[in-house]
């Protein structure tokens, strides 16, 4: 195959498109009727005047984008669809799956979307203001592009909906719990995939106590006991818990009151600081939100950001273990968790009291199991596949698997 594919690629039958619309990006993957190997994967970055798309086939070869624009999410999706249709003209789209950040108290499983579902999802936009509107826009654009094709919403909150009350609530007047101010937890599609993979490759661990660390530009941790989520570091919004690329993580509410009362900031200004100017970017004094850049910088600002990130992961790990009364396995996933041997090594330092000891050679090689033979707690790397979880839900909605979306 040439370096850039322009002619139609082979393939026919049913196709399933998995879409993940972020605040300024659109990730996508095209899957066949059967199998876990994507026919094509890609991403539109910097949606707006400077938007650009990259797409590659199953062999990793680039596919030439169709002509189009990236000025907004609708235009970006139209360009993605045109590209996919040109490269795979024989495919008939049987269902489109969408990552939706927030399902609130309403949805604990994937659902086929209709207008009533969209109206319900819109009421959840205040809970996830930087994600939910784009998720809904992506569904509407796909509905217009594929009339009659089922649109399936897959929720990041669904994996956590069975958590016990003490991990689901805040110590606020109960009326807030009743209207949906709760600890929802996020990254559920990632945790769903990793849990399934552990059940396949290490079933003995899934019967015990596992902490999964989804570490990336967005970061959280989840305590999973016997295959079920019992606690998550993220709570009411995607701001909570660990520091992230540009998000602050756990923050005393008094800080926001200070910003309101003493600095006179409005909610939009505070939202900008907490979502876009904090985390690794803020800790490094604007150096970078990318862990790779910080590791390479080797200066005081970078060290400060990495030190805080590692400290918070270690602290949260202790809390997760306490929730379950111990820990049998620690699993890393996400961009940082899968690729940064420095962060993995540093997180596991000083955790001998938890039975954690890594093998530095295995860690350097990013092996599946990176704990040493003497470690009482298994430490693993399981690359996550949120796109595959979405595709499987889309297949189920189309009746091509045993489990139907509800």
3-class secondary-structure state, position 281: helix
3-class secondary-structure state, position 256: helix
Q: What is the dihedral of CA 247, 250, 256, 258, to 10 degrees?
A: -120
- Residues 397 and 95: beta-carbon distance below 8 Å: yes
DSSP-assigned states of every residue in 373-397: TT-SSEEEE----HHHHHHHHHHHH
Strand 209-214 relative to strand 111-112, pairing: unpaired
Token representation of residue 113: 């979307």
Token representation of residue 146: 């594929």
Exposed, middle or buried: residue 4 (CB in 10 Å: 0-12, 13-18, 19+)? exposed
Helix (H) or strand (E) holding 31: strand 26-32
Q: What is the dihedral of CA 352, 349, 363, 221, to 10 degrees?
A: 90
Sign of CA dihedral 262, 264, 265, 266: positive
**Owner of token pair 């030439």:** 64
- Residues 136 and 162: beta-carbon distance below 8 Å: no
Active-site residue list: 156
């Amino acid at each position: 195959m040439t370096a850039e594919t322009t002619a139609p690629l082979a393939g026919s039958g049913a196709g399933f498109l998995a879409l993940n619309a972020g605040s300024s990006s659109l990730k996508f993957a095209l899957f066949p009727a059967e199998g876990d190997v994507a026919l094509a994967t890609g991403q539109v970055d910097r949606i707006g005047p400077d938007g650009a798309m990259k797409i590659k086939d199953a062999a990793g070869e680039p596919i030439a984008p169709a002509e189009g624009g990236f000025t907004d999410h609708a235009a970006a999706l139209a360009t993605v669809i045109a590209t996919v249709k040109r490269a795979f003209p024989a495919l008939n789209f049987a269902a489109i799956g969408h990552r939706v950040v927030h399902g609130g108290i309403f949805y604990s499983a994937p659902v086929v979307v209709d207008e009533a579902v969209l109206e319900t999802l819109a009421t959840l936009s205040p809970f996830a203001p930087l994600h939910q509107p784009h998720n809904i826009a992506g569904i509407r654009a796909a509905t217009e592009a594929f009339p009659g094709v089922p649109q399936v919403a897959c929720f990041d909150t669904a994996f956590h909906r069975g958590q016990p009350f003490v991990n689901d609530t805040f110590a606020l007047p109960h009326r807030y719990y009743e209207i949906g101010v709760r600890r929802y937890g996020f990254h559920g599609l990632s945790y769903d995939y990793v849990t399934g993979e552990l059940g396949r490759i290490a079933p003995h661990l899934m019967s015990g106590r596992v902490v999964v660390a989804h570490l990336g530009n967005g970061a959280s941790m989840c305590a999973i006991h016997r295959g079920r989520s019992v606690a998550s570091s993220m709570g009411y919004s995607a701001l909570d818990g660990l520091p992230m690329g540009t998000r602050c993580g756990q923050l005393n509410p008094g800080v926001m009151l200070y910003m309101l009362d003493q600095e006179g900031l409005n909610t939009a200004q505070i939202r900008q600081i907490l979502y876009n100017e904090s985390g690794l970017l803020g800790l490094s004094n604007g150096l970078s939100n990318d862990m790779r850049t910080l590791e390479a910088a080797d200066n005081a600002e970078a060290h400060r950001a990495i030190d805080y990130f590692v400290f918070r992961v270690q602290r949260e790990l202790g809390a997760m273990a306490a929730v379950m009364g111990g820990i049998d396995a620690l699993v890393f996933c996400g961009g940082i968790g899968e690729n940064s041997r420095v962060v993995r090594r540093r997180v596991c330092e000083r955790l001998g009291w938890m039975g954690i000891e890594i093998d530095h050679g295995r860690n350097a090689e990013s092996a599946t199991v990176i704990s040493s033979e003497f470690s009482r707690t298994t430490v693993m790397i399981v690359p996550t596949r949120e796109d595959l979880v979405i595709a499987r839900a889309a297949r189920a909605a189309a009746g091509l698997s045993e489990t139907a979306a509800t």
